[in-house]
Amino acid sequence: AQSVTQLGSHVSVSEGALVLLRCNYSSSVPPYLFWYVQYPNQGLQLLLKYTSAATLVKGINGFEAEFKKSETSFHLTKPSAHMSDAAEYFCAVSEDTDKLIFGTGTRLQVFP
Amino acid sequence: EAGVTQFPSHSVIEKGQTVTLRCDPISGHDNLYWYRRVMGKEIKFLLHFVKESKQDESGMPNNRFLAERTGGTYSTLKVQPAELEDSGVYFCASSRTVNTEAFFGQGTRLTVV
């Protein structure tokens, strides 16, 4: 069965600092992996997705994630945090880009 | 182009009452999904429609939940009778095909008291 683990329900960084949100997955088949973001009072928005092409995936707003099969990880990074990045981030896995299995989410706070 | 729209945005009902949530997908999207997030936990899949047919309803918690998508357009999710543990945020998403991006609505926050 597929599952996703997001380490750290809350992450705080200073503006301009590196953002690193961790995601580990479990899947019996080559997975499709996603990062979604939810800004306050909005729906989930796709940041980026991995679908077995390049292992380093670039998304919107300067975010990127690297698929590491040996570590079963898909961590999300951004070199320099901005105040507008404050939101909740969800990692998800899917066998066929159909039904999504989500992690519990990580709330990112950015301090000035 | 309008996004996925969900009604109502919030609902507070008493235990034992009935509530109906509605989702209007993006026009032309055959695939419609319902998910739920109970407070502090992960977002969980409930079911998937392809047009008006239920493709996968393996995530539906129990028979108090009934989802419909008559005519393959909007969908409703009825909870009858509601229990305290049904409280959470219900998300709807739609996609044109199963291999394309799913767009999510803002969610309906349901509180059962």
Instruction: Give me the average pLDDT of each 10-residue run along chain B (113 residues).
Output: 91 98 96 94 94 94 95 95 97 88 93 97
Low-confidence ranges of chain A (pLDDT < 70): 97
Q: What are the strands, taking DSSP E only, across B8-112?
A: 10-13, 19-24, 31-37, 43-50, 53-56, 65-68, 75-79, 88-95, 103-104, 108-112
Q: What is the pLDDT of residue B1?
A: 64
Q: What is the pLDDT of residue A97?
A: 60
Residue with tokens 């989410």: A105
* Per-residue CA distances from A51 to A70, A80, A110, B45 (Å): 17, 26, 30, 20
A interface residues, B as partner, C-beta within 8 Å: 4, 36, 41-46, 49, 90, 92, 96-105
Q: Which two tokens stand for residue A112?
A: 């000035």
Q: Do A44 and B93 touch (CB under 8 A)?
A: yes
Q: Do B42 and A45 touch (CB under 8 A)?
A: no
B56 touches chain A (CB under 8 A): yes
Residues A62 and A82: their CA atoms lie apart, in Å, by 10
Whether the CA torsion B43, B44, B50, B51 is positive or negative: it is negative
Q: Which two tokens stand for residue A105?
A: 């989410």
Q: What is the pLDDT of residue B94?
A: 95
- Which of A40, A35, A44, A88 lies closest to A62 in space, CA to CA? A35
